[in-house]
Structure 1
Amino acid sequence: MLVHRSGSVRRPRRLFAAGLLLAAFSLMFTQPAEAGTPARGTAHMGMGVLAHDGGGSASRSAAAAQTEGVDVSGYQGNVAWSTLWSSGVRWAYTKATEGTYYTNPYFAQQYNGSYGVGMIRGAYHFATPDTTSGATQADYFVDHGGGWSRDGRTLPGTLDIEWNPYGDACYGKSASAMVSWIADFLNTYKARTGRDAVIYTATSWWTQCTGNYGGFAAASPLWIARYASTPGTLPAGWGYYTMWQYTSSGPTVGDHDKFNGALDRVQALANG
């Protein structure tokens, strides 16, 4: 042992061992459970589309009656909303929550920033059906930014239901159990807000994990994900899409979308 001039005892070996122990604990809580698995909370719209749904060259040429939009998450950080507005983007969705364990730390800048430049905005929830019930996650979403207000510029919340980035693609659920989970979320969201939530998904995932269930199409608008020149075949029940995420490599922020209608139709969805 070494002694300071003041007489205090130094214990360098013990301090070094304690430092190693703290470092080990830090790695346990910050690293993914398995190599290649992303950290919880980092999921975002379309995360699995390129990996599971092919994905080719996205066409940026769209009919005149479509309106450009974007979707963002914590991955994008602070977003240059004025740049997006100048490029013609008129609506935006921001990730608010995931499961019942994550809220987007950039939510205020993204959600309020898009509104501040004149866009019509909304919030989305990344579903994790293997962690808690649909009702519990809908409540968490509404309580952390996913609500709706009748101000003419707020879109209904979106349920982002797609490939599980942390494990089994269908979250370990049968098709019937997945349909029940989604219904639980949608029913709770409507009871809390008075609005039917939008469903964001990809046809291949929906077919695999819900058995291509068509029962939600009458009430919930469809936001289809497909990075190609067309949206392709839609899930059962929906005769048309309301929104289409057509690329993950667009300008300013990667995820760009088309609203299937002119700006007055975006406003109509906001107004209910």
Structure 2
Amino acid sequence: MITRFISDLHLSADRPDITGLFVHFLRTEARESDALYILGDLFDYWIGDDDQTVFHRHIMDELKAFTSSGIPCFFIAGNRDFLIGERFAAETGVTLLPEHYIANIYGIPTLLLHGDTLCTEDVSYQKFRKIIRNPFLLGIAKRLPLSWRRGLAHKLRSGSKSNQPLTPEQLQKMDTTEAAVQHAFAEFQVDRIIHGHTHKPDIHEHSLPKGACGTRIVLGDWYEQGSILEVTADTFILRSEPLTAD
């Protein structure tokens, strides 16, 4: 009995090595899971469910084949693919979850999230996130012509270092803060948190009030390797897999 977790794949047609590893993962070991959770940034960008490129259809078809095998797959949006919607879910069989979700993983209530809300020192991003996630603005964005959204996405990607490892300075700015982590443990009353976003895979133990201890597992990105968390009823393993050849 194994439940697997991944995040921050940033899939794009520009990185066939990442895509190859993900497809291989879906076709092999992932099918031996009780469930698969994708905690955001599956795609490098997603501008709407109507953006049916050949690449997007390929990934959606692979996800549909995976869920049709009987393995449930759950998705929490990241900061790059929060426009994934119900059409995507219907055509892939993936279940969309809210941005904070408590899952019972073999008897342990576990908070699942992408992780960007824990990075409170990145003030400019948090302000942008609050604006762009506004339901009214999201509704407007989804109704913009597809050509406009593609142009905007191209401009945003050309101004960023998509599919490239982040610098130490960028990683520090986008890291979690202890105050935000403690708040999450307290607000959701859990002893374990799993998230991605920071691109710093690790397992952290946090001292909680009344002598309790909380475990926070951070998933890695897939820029230079595949990062996979395997959780069983007794233990968990955070491991990496080499990328496939281009």
TM over 0.5: no
Give the helix-richer structure, 1 or 2.
2
Give the strand-richer structure, 1 or 2.
2
| Bigger relative contact order, structure 1 or 2 (CA pairs below 8 A, ≥6 apart) | 2
Larger Rg: 1
TM-score (normalised: structure 2): 0.38
